[in-house]
Amino acid sequence: MSGTVDAPDSDTSIAWSFPMQGRNTFTWEYDTDRENLLNLYQKGKDKQWDSTKRIDWSLEVDPCDVLGTPENTLALYGSRQYSRLNQREKRELRRHMASWEFSQFLHGEQGAMICAARIVESVPDIDSKFYAATQVMDEARHAELFTRFVHDKIGMTYPISPHLKALLGEALNDSRWDMPYLGMQVLIEGLALAAFGILRDKTDKPLPKQILSYIMQDEARHVAFGRIALRDYYKELTSQELAEREDFIVEGCYLMRDRLRMQEVWETLGYDMKECMEYMNRGPRMQAFRSRLFTRIVPCVKDIGLWGPKVRQAYEAMGVLQLADHDLVKLMEDDEAQAEAMDAERRELAARQSEVHHAITHGRLLADEG
């Protein structure tokens, strides 16, 4: 199977549009004393890169084993549905799961690009506009990367998850300028960053490892941007205004949790939906996976000041409240360090290959002279 999967009950139109709420804001105050945001802007400029040059696209990918992960790590492994599959069907399942997962990454990155552009338009301060402009370019690069990976290496795409679509719609269709920040920088980017990290750490396949590592280097800056800007702004809000943002956080986190159940895959493959959904809700692998996916979101929500009883109760019900004290800065530093280490390793390998090639060429020349 190749091309685009039309999951049952999905919207198969090629575009999604709706009127945007809010205002475009100009500012004539060009002086700013927020050095941390300006430093992040400078870093955003310094760290731009070209996906056609930094990624080794010559690397082969098996569409039915994209990540090379052990069978017992698959979300559906251990279920009655999985036990009924033969080897061909298990390979087909792997391809559909990878296609769904990377397709959602792709849709999320396009959403991030549009949200970042919306932030440039609506955010009132110039330093945030500066940085958000660099993020638009980052997100365009990420969407380009995932488009190429999904189409050229997997050969199959899935439509946007209804849960991701709902959260994007709510974030973009709110007239308050901070809501695209909150929906994208904190929730969608936070969950994506954790998901990228889980896949990066468990795959032994070089191409997806490169893609995920380099994108995470950018995303670490994006989450830092959201934290800095929203933390300052939310100190000025009333308790009622904070409560409205907390309601959005709770609803958004449930949407992010529910999007992980891959319902569209089970529908497309004709599996027993009730059985699959029950296993995805209660299975030990998915429970552990969901907890890890909130490692970036929970400490960020606490850091920006949206930490009222409703948020804490929701996180306790999800089993992720204990993540509040994770060191988010250290996690981001590790993400950047891993990308830099991969670059260094690839440079070293290229240098060795060049030395070997030079030695072989030199040996041939000597032999010819002899």
pLDDT at residue number 7:
56
pTM for the whole structure: 0.87
pLDDT at residue number 11:
55
pLDDT at residue number 103:
96
pLDDT along the chain (370 residues), means of 10: 59 67 74 78 91 94 95 89 96 96 94 91 88 94 97 95 88 87 87 89 94 93 86 92 96 82 93 92 74 88 95 93 90 88 85 79 72
pLDDT at residue number 12:
53
Identify the burial level of 87 via C-beta atoms within 10 angstroms of its C-beta, where 0-12 means exposed, 13-18 middle and 19 or more buried.
Answer: exposed
pLDDT at residue number 117:
92
pLDDT at residue number 163:
87
Q: Which CATH number fits domain 3-9+36-329: 3.40.190.10, 3.30.1360.120, 1.20.1260.10, 3.30.70.3170?
A: 1.20.1260.10
pLDDT at residue number 14:
73
| SS3 per residue for the chain | CCEECCCCCCCCCCCCCCCCCCCCCCCCCCCCCCHHHHHHHHHHHHCCCCHHHHCCCCCCCCCCCCCCCCHHHCCCCCCHHHHCCCHHHHHHHHHHHHHHHHHHHHHHHHHHHHHHHHHHHHCCCHHHHHHHHHHHHHHHHHHHHHHHHHHHHHCEECCCCHHHHHHHHHHHCCCCCHHHHHHHHHHHHHHHHHHHHHHHHHCCCHHHHHHHHHHHHHHHHHHHHHHHHHHHHHCCCCHHHHHHHHHHHHHHHHHHHHHHHCHHHHHHCCCCHHHHHHHHHHCHHHHHHHHHHCCCHHHHHHHCCCCCHHHHHHHHHHCCHHHHHCCHHHHHHHHHHHHHHHHHHHHHHHHHHHHHHHHHHHHHHHHHHC
pLDDT at residue number 9:
52
pLDDT at residue number 155:
96
